[in-house]
Chain A
Amino acid sequence: MKYFVLSPVLMLAAAAGCGTDSASGDGRVQVFVEPEDSVTNGLTPGTGVENLRDGWTAQYTKFLVTIGNFRAARSTSSERLTEPRVYVVDLRNVPAGGLVAAEFPSAAAGRWDRFGFDMPNASASATRAQGTSQEDYDRMVRGRYSIYIEATLTHPAGRSCRPTMPTDCAPRTSLTVRWGLSAGTSFDDCAPEAGAAGFAVISGGTVQIKPTIHGDHWFFTNITQGAEVTERRAQWIVDADLDRDGETTFDELRRVRASDVFPSPTYNLSGALVPVNTAYDYLDAQAHTLGDFQGDGECPTRRDLM
């Protein structure tokens, strides 16, 4: 139960301005873009928290994102770090040592409690990241995509059932998706899974910041708020293949009412940045949530960049 007490944010605000950061000197900050394991290794069926609960296997063959405009700030001062450059990145082909997307060689030592970045819709001003093909870059810019994926879902005993008539089912053991979304979003107030928000710079040291792009949110059964307390399911995507040709398209997703594929309370569709009325809306809503931090940390302040 929630009680009538002050939130940590207010308490932090109360403390801000009452003291100073005593650290001195500068350190280096490197911003790496990294994919979550689900992007590179896919999702497997099972009962574990990271598994798809309904027996499907998901494997991405392409996962492109637009990402950049990295920024950091300190609540205790006016200091800012900004790198406005935006990249188009093939997350399945980032360099082995990681993709360094920004570097700040002289950041004041101490805590930088406010870190954020954008996943905007691609434009011609974006930079093609190392490991990203010209064809994929052009695809992102031409479509003004923030995300583009190609994936295959497989299930040896899979079925596709009509959303409006769940008893009308047909065998479907493999299904593909090719989705480009203009779901530009800013992500701020990033915090690791445990510990204080942002990151700490040590004088003379180097800190590595890792905005992490997750690949499983459209399988979630809710719009997560902070910790990913959810299940992962893929059946709704298979059921939305209305013409049963083995590929679920945006046109089909837009024709499927959200309530016909997301039963309550197994699913909870509240808390999205966009109203959720169709299956496409839910995909779009989850595409606005993929930006995370230091693995499973969250960037809870999200804004639609249109």
Chain B
Amino acid sequence: MKTTTRAILLSMLGLGCGSTGPSEVRYPIVAEGAASAPFAAGDWTVTLDVARVSLGPIYFCATAAASSSLCPAAVQEFADVAEFDALRPSAQPLGFVTGAPGSIRSSSYDLGITWFTTQRTATPAAASAGRSAHFEGRATRGSRTLRFVCDVRAIPMLQGAQVVQGARVSADITGSNVRLVVRADAASWWTAVDLSEVESEGGDPVVIPPSSRIHNAVVVAMTAGAPLRFEWVSQ
């Protein structure tokens, strides 16, 4: 959007009401993962060695639901796509959230693959390396050890929608003295998978195919079972 249009729209917030707060906010967004530790997934004990996640863009809406009709424009947004290490607990800078001050009640976001109304098909962002997440890990069951790799592609269901649509959040952002912390628990995305599905596949490591139930289980967990958590922290 052109800067002039943006300025006009921002100025509308204060029309005739004597607004004294900032007309724009800009604050950092960071990601925090969780250190790798063995966890159970069915009969297997799994350890993740690599868990890289692409996140963005993210749109924050004032409405609790986030359809294009209820939220035709975001209050605030993280317009970029950035990758982070979901096994690293320390804060990893992703960029900045910008927008107007106000209440936020829902978020919609993509995991590095967008399907805007201007795109003919779902399209990976350049920063996402063509995927939403990349995992490498080991699974053991008795004396059997299975190494695996998985590139996850989480694709929006509809053109114009995000892959996570209308996730509930709650924040009232009045200024730029906050930062947004995005928390990810990669292990929770893998607890519902059944690695037996690929046990007989060849290769070391086994490459988990996108058509597999395992792949779908990870996508469902990332988007609905244990989605990213957003927390605004004063700074």
- Name A residues whose Cβ lies closer than 8 Å to a Cβ of B: 1-11, 13-15, 17-18, 164, 189, 221-227, 229, 257-260, 262-273, 275-277, 298, 300-302
Contact = CB atoms under 8 A, between A and B. Distances in A.
B72 A8 contact: yes
B66 to A, nearest CB: 5
Interface in B106-137: 106, 116-118, 122
Contact of B75 (A7, A221, A266, A268): A7
Range of interface residues on B (Cβ < 8 Å): 35 or more
Interface in B181-235: 192, 194, 213, 216-217, 219-221, 223-227
A302 B106 CA distance: 12
A132 B109 CA distance: 44
B6 A4 contact: yes
A156 B168 CA distance: 41
What are the 10 closest A-B residue pairs judged by CB atoms, nearest first? Answer: A226-B67, A271-B166, A300-B65, A269-B224, A259-B217, A268-B157, A225-B67, A259-B220, A5-B73, A9-B62
Nearest to B197: A164
The majority secondary structure among interface residues of chain A is: loop
A225 B223 contact: no
Contact of B16 (A18, A257, A268): A18
A10 B13 CA distance: 7
Nearest to B74: A2
A264 B13 contact: no
B75 A6 contact: yes
A270 B165 contact: yes
Contacts of B168: 273
B77 interface: yes
Contacts of B37: none
B139 interface: no
Given A4-B99, A259-B213, A225 B225 contact: no
Given A10-B102, A221-B157, A302-B64, A269 B220 contact: yes
